[in-house]
Amino acid sequence: MRSLHPVIKGIAFLLFFSLIFNLNFAQEQKKAEKVYPPAKNFNVLKALSKIHIDGILNEEAWKHPEKVGIDYEWSPGDATKPPVKTDVMVTFDEKNFYIAFVCYDPDPKKIRAHLMDRDSINTFIQDDHISFMLDTFNDERRAFQFRVNPLGVQADAIFSEMEGYEDFSWDAIWNSAGKITDFGYVVEVAIPLNQLRFPKDKGVLTWGIEADRSYPRNARHRMSTHVRDRNKNCILCQFNKVTGFKGLSPGKNLEFDPTLTMVRTDKLDNFPAGKIVNGEIEAEPGISARWGITSNLVLNAAVNPDFSQVEADVQQLEVNNRYAIRYPEKRPFFLEGADFFLTPLEAIFTRTVFDPYWGGKLTGKIGKNAIGFYTTRDKFNNIIFPSNQGSSSLSINNDVFSGVFRYRRDVGKGSALGFLYTGRAGDEYSNHVVGGDGFFRFGRSKTLNIQFLRSQTEYPDDIAVTYGQATGNFGGNAIFADFTHFSRNLIYEIQYTDLSSGFRADSGFIPRVDYRKIDAYITPVIWGKRGSWFNRISFILRGWHVTDQDGNLTDQKLYMNINYQGPLQSFAQTAVNISKEVYNGETFNVNYLQFYGEMKPGGGVYYFLYTRYGDAIDYINTRLGNSLQLNPGIELGVGRHLNLNLSHVYEKFDFEGEKVYTANLLQAKFIYNLNIRTFVRAIVQYTHIDRNTGLYIVPVDEKTKAVFTQFLFSYKINPQTVLFLGYSDNHFGLKGIDITRTDRTFFLKIGYALVL
């Protein structure tokens, strides 16, 4: 052990401790292990009448289905009796899957329900709501998720078991209605079969199903129709089963989504004393098509597809970063079947496709085989140049062709094997990645995830020289392995990542290469009882050790924290970080404290605070300083219609007692929801950075100020039938120069979903 680095010793200790703890705890747990009732099987009957989705269950079809009770609270309780009663009913016809919830409440005046845009999930989960998931292939690997609040506001997602991936950017076209009553509230839902995927089978189908209710009061009570065993490291494997679906067909399963986007951008002709010059109106018509070839195989195609985003990216401070910043995907074309393209390493990241002429995609599952394929021709080639010490990026105004193929084969009970290919090619440029992966489930609490990738890359000679990249054709490898144990009172994980210096994944997001990393943590968990001063307390001890491919240390960390969950939906985390980092040839000891806390004390009220204090590296000047970061925020729902969201990021960096810079980022968002389909929104983002230029080794502006504003009117019948009217502008200022508007943009977007 003498030759091992202290952090390696710490990791070894973590693993040894976790093994001893797990063996001892397993013996104690066996004595007091809870015996949970098994999942149930239900039979669904075809609807005896037409159903009108209005939140009033007066049709004949709702008088006969078997009622299923939401009988178990799984958070904060552990398979305990719920504090409120809920009945669930399920039926279907030739076109739709129907589900209805009758939610009883002892005091309906306390029901939390607000109007908001669909999929505003951070705001949505503060409300009372119901949710359900459908495992339509009954393979316990992926499920469609739908949520509705008492006013009928929708949220939907794809859940993938192997990756623990819950993606609310996925959108389906479905119908829901909510109605608050004198006994609680009622939710009624119809999901068109052409929005789901299920086996092509003329016999009787069985689906996995979970129906949940969220009841937020002093605690957020989460309740389900089945037990959730905290010792099982899977969710879909615990679902109830519903059978009796017969003669299901998605119909023609054709969808056409024509769009028209019109934009005019006016720009300042000379900063700062010039004038705004009106730009030309740019009209971008486009069309996307979706064809369900079968009930489980979907083809998407688009010509001049609508990839416009009316939601501003959440702004992030870029004053002292080493690596590229990742922004989430929000564009509809790529969100269809996005879970089919997941891999342990992020070798596929669709925002690398910037402005394509056209795109095509095929996704689906045939038996035990899941496939995903897409191809595009893009007007721009966006490239990240990764390294161990940092990353840079380049956007080339040159056509590039992209193609991605993903295949995964189900193996045994909950395991899978996969294959991946990605390719990009342009003028004197190419990048190809190929490899395999596997996910293996051992028992109910342990999993192993592995992946190997090989890349071949060639850049144009001038770009390679300018950005310090290898010339000619070069290659690299990537290896990933992750072992996880997840049980009621103990979680631990060990992970190994190895990326050679020549590895590139230009269709993905991998901003760091040339490193080997071993990462391990252990988390004992203590659960509180109902009415206790805490719901859950966990302790995390984590360590990682990173070297470059030559074995030189680049960074290591020992991380200790305590997590607390308690009344008023409160959460707090306190952490101590002891780390070492090598940058630009120098070694720095970086030690700091972190705190994060949040609380949701009432309907539509949410507070949070993040703070970090201690050592930090000044990456521009290669030196160790002291940093203070503060990030408070508040969200308020005023009545049912108005939502206010304010957040502020403050950072101060000092070196030997002198200020290097202070940075402020303020964001304010105001949303007024007229109804579940219509809202108006204003966003203001203000950035102010003040630098001590005498402490920089490169020229920098002493003061920079920027303001971004956006105003939007949104009318949305469904995710694809939309009308957006908006305005945005940017302002910029320097020392001695007032904040000046540099551009303004007016935009109109119309989209229509024609479903056949």
Q: What is the pLDDT of residues 572-622, one digit of tens each?
A: 999 999 999 998 889 999 999 999 999 998 888 999 999 999 999 998 999
pLDDT of residue 4: 40
pLDDT of residue 679: 95
**Which amino acid does the sequence have at 230?**
R
Look at residues 213, 188, 189 and name the one whose alpha carbon lies nearest to residue 104.
213
H/E run at residue 64 = none
Look at residues 502, 143, 495 and name the one whose alpha carbon lies nearest to residue 345.
495
Residue pair 308/375 in contact by the 8 Å Cβ criterion: no
Question: How far does the chain reach from its first CA to its final CA, in angstroms?
Answer: 68
* pLDDT single digits (tens) 257-306: 998 989 899 999 888 888 899 999 989 898 889 998 888 889 999 887 66
Look at residues 163, 187, 212 and name the one whose alpha carbon lies nearest to residue 53.
187
Distances in whole angstroms, Cα of residue 387 to Cα of each of 364, 459, 508: 36, 16, 15
d(CA 118, CA 679): 11
Q: Take residue 286 and report the two structure tokens written for it.
A: 């486009």
d(CA 578, CA 592): 7
For residue 695, the 8-state DSSP code is: G
* pLDDT single digits (tens) 336-387: 778 889 899 999 988 888 888 899 999 999 989 999 999 999 988 989 899 9
Higher-pLDDT residue of 749, 420: 420
* pLDDT single digits (tens) 462-506: 999 999 999 999 999 999 999 999 999 999 999 999 999 999 999
Q: What's the average model confidence in pLDDT over 670-694?
A: 95
- Region at 479 (left for phi over 0; alpha for psi -120 to 50; beta for the rest): beta
Strand partners of residue 268: 276
pLDDT of residue 504: 97
Say whether pLDDT at 15 is over 80.
no
The correct CATH number of 35-246 out of 3.10.20.600, 3.40.50.11610, 3.30.470.10, 2.60.40.1190 is 2.60.40.1190
Say whether pLDDT at 3 is over 50.
no
Q: What percent of the chain has pLDDT over 90?
A: 68
d(CA 429, CA 438): 31
pLDDT of residue 159: 92
Q: How confident is the model at residue 544 (pLDDT cuts 50, 70, 90)?
A: very high
Q: What's the average model confidence in pLDDT over 549-564?
A: 94
Burial readout 78-107 (b: 16 or more C-beta within 10 A, e: otherwise): bbeebebbbebbbbbbeebbbbbbbbebee
Say whether pLDDT at 395 is over 70.
yes
3-state SS class at 125: coil
- β pairing state of 45-46 and 86-92: parallel
Say whether pLDDT at 28 is over 50.
no
Count of CB atoms situated within 10 Å of the CB of 624 = 17
**Which amino acid does the sequence have at 3?**
S
pLDDT of residue 33: 59
For residue 203, the 8-state DSSP code is: S
Say whether pLDDT at 42 is over 60.
yes
Look at residues 113, 105, 118, 99 and name the one whose alpha carbon lies nearest to residue 156.
118
Say whether pLDDT at 163 is over 50.
yes
CA angle 547, 548, 551 (to 5 degrees): 70
**Which amino acid does the sequence have at 190?**
A
Burial readout 578-610 (b: 16 or more C-beta within 10 A, e: otherwise): bbbbbbeeeebebebebebeebbebbbbbebeb
Q: How confident is the model at residue 688 (pLDDT cuts 50, 70, 90)?
A: very high
Least confident stretch, 309-318, 699-708, 738-747: 309-318
* pLDDT single digits (tens) 432-450: 999 999 999 998 899 999 9
Q: Take residue 708 and report the two structure tokens written for it.
A: 């971004």
pLDDT of residue 316: 46
Q: What's the average model confidence in pLDDT over 531-546?
A: 93
* pLDDT single digits (tens) 170-204: 889 999 999 999 999 999 999 999 999 998 877 89
Q: How confident is the model at residue 322 (pLDDT cuts 50, 70, 90)?
A: very low
> Mind giving me the DSSP string for 397-447?
-S-EEEEEEEEEEEETTTEEEEEEEEEEEETTEEEEEEEEEEEEEETTTEE
* pLDDT single digits (tens) 86-136: 999 999 999 999 999 999 999 999 999 999 999 999 899 999 999 999 999
Higher-pLDDT residue of 394, 520: 520
For residue 227, the 8-state DSSP code is: -
